[in-house]
Amino acid sequence: MTRSTRLTALAAVSAFALLGACATAPTAAAPAPSTATPATAPAAVMAHDIHSFARPDEARVTHVGLDLTTDFAAKRLSGTATLDVDAKPDARMIVLDTKDLEIQSVTDASGKPLQWRLGTAPQGTPEVMGVPLEVTLPAGTKRIVVRYATSPNAAALQWLTPAQTAGKKYPYLFSQGEAILTRTWIPTQDSPGIRQTYDARIVVPSELKAVMSAEMLTPDGEPAEGGHAFRFHMDKPIAPYLIAIAVGDIAFKPLGARTGVYTEPSMLDKSAWELADVEKMVEAAESLYGPYRWGRYDLLVLPPSFPFGGMENPRLTFATPTILAGDRSLVSLVAHELAHSWSGNLVTNATWADFWLNEGFTTYFENRIMEKLYGPERAAMLANLGWQDLQNAVAEAGGPNAPDTRLHLDLTGRDPDEGMTDIAYEKGATFLRTIEEAVGRERFDAWLRSYFDRHAFQPMTAEVFLADLRANLIKGDAALEQKLQLDRWVYEPGIPENAVVRQSDAFARVDAQVQAFAAGGPASKVNTAGWTTQEWQHFLGSLPAKMTPAQLADLDKTFNLSNQGNSEILFAWLKIVVNNRYQPGVPALEKFLTSQGRRKFVLPLFTALMKQGDWGQNLARKIYAEARPGYHPVTSQSVDAVVK
């Protein structure tokens, strides 16, 4: 664990306070004082993560050792999880998080059986939390071994048939643990504030390869009963949602000295070409906010059912194939996942109420990487699109006074996925951009780099973040404190009026083309020469909400939009198709929704369809019946709530 030599009293106390439990922040009704504070700050408040049954102040998991065998026929992982335990001398029990796990036995390190039971969740607990596994700890117990098997319906795991892969020859397995799905395949304390190291031995069929979010110790595997085994080791404490696995027909190609890409063999060359700048991205990120601390940075391009654009699993970002546009125009997603190696993986939200501390920081950092590599105009376009997404997110949340437009959320009784909206990403990034504008980039960068140093490999809360900001950046400057409105940004709804919005000259030129087309001009007169993906997104997103069939046909024919290979541009066009009930675009809509499962694309399109009366609802039900079996549970559970 790297520590800055410039630790303040705040950081030293915070590190101690956060070691065994999560910290909480004031509620929106009682924000922290809006006055400047001196260069010392109070200790963080100890509290449990409301989305975990664990009691880490009594006994906490510090290391997970997995020995699991994959069974593609049964769609199960089975074996053992050996947990290292740090318990208080008087602790008599450790409580783990589980959901739909078949617990077969629990022993100590010597094999002696321990008493255990699956408890019941309190009334009002979200179903996604599962139930606690309560294990009695005899005095001096430092390690327990849980023998178990996963359910075929484990929400973190997706088992793909050969037909659902690019190669069509072998099955595939991958996991997705965020936010609290790790408990469906590993019995551990599934809270982002309870960081754990891990190692693993994974047995797979002989024709397949396993990869994980850890150092690979056996690149070619080793003989094992039923196939061959791969071993992994993660020596840095990470949040449990970052423990990740994939198994399939997977090949590798290096991109640089410490970077490379894994994917199915038929996709390898295409993926490597698209991701050629990854090594440069790592270097750009390091030049901004300090050394990359995880060793290698590789990517795994998954089959199309992966529910997210990317997942920042340490050492091995999981990525959707929808980023493979053929022109490297969507690599900002890689910059985002790479940035998580600092904001999210290195310094992690202690609870899901402060998800913005992961995603707001990362969205800001992503934009800085893109600016450094591709110039200020590209970064300005991306930031402006983010601002537009923020406006839409505020509207979808219920307007500027809606509670869910706060950064620090109240998720009591709710699935933490409900807080994973563009508010966390874009309001958080705008907040940091506003601070940068107020203090100057050089001063802000120095603070942010030192923030990552001070809190490396630690959980973080809004309260501790604000205390650090006041202690190490504002430093008692009352005028600056008043100008920034820090507590209003974090604890109150809406977007404060001091928000800094990046403007794009390129978008201003696109707006002129939008106006000409909307006024009746033909699509052939729209000057799209040299447009980037971002300009196309802005153009399509700025067109009138309702257009005539003739206008839609003109756009589609002129720009071949229904056959667009760039997923972001196609998505923007398909939203127009749905909102205008443009029947000639429906085949492209059906193909898009049945050929990939990225929730960012899938959920808004089904939501839009369900708002289009009988036309849209009948179409949504028809398409979803075909598409749902190929979606990861993260996506299908969201769409299930919409398509009824």
Query: By three-state DSSP, how is residue 237 classified?
Result: strand
Which residue out of 289, 297, 425, 451 is catalytically annotated? Answer: 425
| Rounded CA separation 26/191 (Å) | 20
| Rounded CA separation 193/563 (Å) | 45
Q: Are strands 131-136 and 93-98 parallel, antiparallel or unpaired?
A: antiparallel
Is the peptide bond prior to 179 cis by the omega test (within 30 degrees of 0)? Answer: yes
Going by the DSSP 8-state scheme, the letter that residue 240 receives in this structure is G
| Of 309, 212, 221, 317, nearest in space to 261 by CA | 317
Max Cα–Cα distance, the chain, nearest Å: 80
Element housing 174 (H / E): strand 172-175
Residue 613 zone, left/alpha/beta (φ > 0; ψ -120 to 50; rest): left
Which residue out of 178, 274, 312, 337 is catalytically annotated? Answer: 337
Cβ contacts of 601 within 8 Å, gap of 6 or more: 322, 567, 571, 592
Q: Is 425 annotated as catalytic?
A: yes
| Of 405, 423, 421, 434, nearest in space to 502 by CA | 434
| Rounded CA separation 634/181 (Å) | 9
Residue 105 zone, left/alpha/beta (φ > 0; ψ -120 to 50; rest): beta
Query: Are the beta carbons of 96 and 61 closer than 8 angstroms?
Result: yes
| Rounded CA separation 564/585 (Å) | 12
Query: Are the beta carbons of 458 and 13 closer than 8 angstroms?
Result: no
Going by the DSSP 8-state scheme, the letter that residue 256 receives in this structure is S
- Dihedral angle over CA of 194, 195, 197, 201, nearest 10: 60
Query: Are the beta carbons of 99 and 131 closer than 8 angstroms?
Result: yes
- The long-range contacts involving 510-516, CB below 8 angstroms and separated by at least 24 positions, are 510/535, 510/538, 510/539, 510/542, 511/538, 511/542, 513/539, 514/539, 514/542, 514/543
Query: By three-state DSSP, how is residue 406 classified?
Result: coil
* Residues with a known catalytic role: 337, 425
